Amino acid sequence: MINFVFFGTDLFAVKVLSELKKLGLIPGLIITTPDTPQGRHLILTPPPVKIWVQQNKINFDQPEKLKNYQLPADLDFVLVASYGKILPANLLAQWPGKFLNIHPSLLPHYRGPAPLQAAIANNETDIGVTIMVVDEAMDHGPIVATRTVTINQKWFEELRDETAQIGAKLLVKILPDWLAGKLKSEAQNHGQATYTKKINKSDGEINLTDEPVKTFAKIRAYTPTPGAYFFTNKNGKRIRVIIKKARLEDGQLLIERVVPEGKKETDYASFLNS
């Protein structure tokens, strides 16, 4: 039985864990981030991975800091998938060269916290999944394996789930050879590196007069989080309108469902006529 620890936090990590469980690879311990205040009322909310581990009855921990964190003994490797923090050097030194990361891009392109949203918003045709050895820098370590994934107008959630599942399957495929020392890693071409940033609410703002293909790409990238929206004047008041559903047809953007500020979700035609 392979003994490993998993670091992950968000829904991408949950999808990786779910796929690994289907494939019979279950971590002995899962490390996720602490609960954080969320929403208007700042309710303390667990990360998605914590909810998953509690449902699946797996040991977990939520350390505030990792600087002095001690990993279990006798590990075969450590897996990281969308943990949300850079692992400190002293943690990596406990099992040097044994930390693997599943990252949803073809590194060195789209390093950082939001590769899928950035690729969709940039209207890329392909993205991918990289399994890499973790070092002290962000998404910087040598590459073990990659798979290309076609975007093909997919929305963020669909692409997130697909890349997570592909990444988990790829890991299971290469893991025996990697653990046996038969699979060598290859340094990234750091000169070709591109970077993404953490997504903010303002990133979701769109201008309906922009080129339709560009606008549709942003809608697909930023739905459901932080939400794609535009501002308009309605009954003498400037309001924000969140786009929930849209499509591109014959080069034109067709908005289908929206949530006007302070209102319930409605079809776009009804909103325009209200």
Question: What is the CATH classification number for the domain harbouring 96?
Answer: 3.40.50.170
| Residue 182 confidence (pLDDT) above 90 | yes
Tell me the mean pLDDT in the region 119-139: 96
Look at residues 127, 158, 192 and tell me which one is the last residue of a structural domain: 192
- 158, two tokens: 């669909």
**Among candidates 15, 68, 16, 47, which has minimal Cα distance to 4?**
16
For residues 110 and 142, membership in a common domain is answered with yes
- 179, two tokens: 């653990």
Question: Which pLDDT score, from 0 to 100, does residue 22 have?
Answer: 98
For residues 183 and 207, membership in a common domain is answered with no
Q: Look at the block and give the residue holding tokens 């289907």.
A: 22
The residues facing 36 across adjacent strands are 45
Cβ(107)–Cβ(100) below 8 Å = no
What pLDDT digit, counting tens, does each position of 37-55 carry? Answer: 988 888 999 999 999 999 9
Cβ(13)–Cβ(79) below 8 Å = no
Q: Which domain holds residue 250?
A: 201-273
Neighbours of 135 (CB within 10 A): 18
Question: Which pLDDT score, from 0 to 100, does residue 177 have?
Answer: 97
Look at residues 172, 192, 212 and tell me which one is the last residue of a structural domain: 192
Cβ(12)–Cβ(81) below 8 Å = yes
What pLDDT digit, counting tens, does each position of 205-235 carry? Answer: 999 999 999 999 999 999 999 999 999 998 8
Torsion angle, alpha carbons of 185, 189, 194, 199, to 10 = 20
Which residues neighbour 175 within 8 Å (Cβ) at sequence distance 6 or greater? 2, 25, 77
Look at residues 192, 218, 239 and tell me which one is the last residue of a structural domain: 192
Q: How many CA atoms lie within 13 A of 148 on its CB side?
A: 5
For residues 145 and 207, membership in a common domain is answered with no
For residues 134 and 207, membership in a common domain is answered with no
Question: What is the CATH classification number for the domain harbouring 242?
Answer: 3.10.25.10
Question: Which pLDDT score, from 0 to 100, does residue 236 have?
Answer: 85
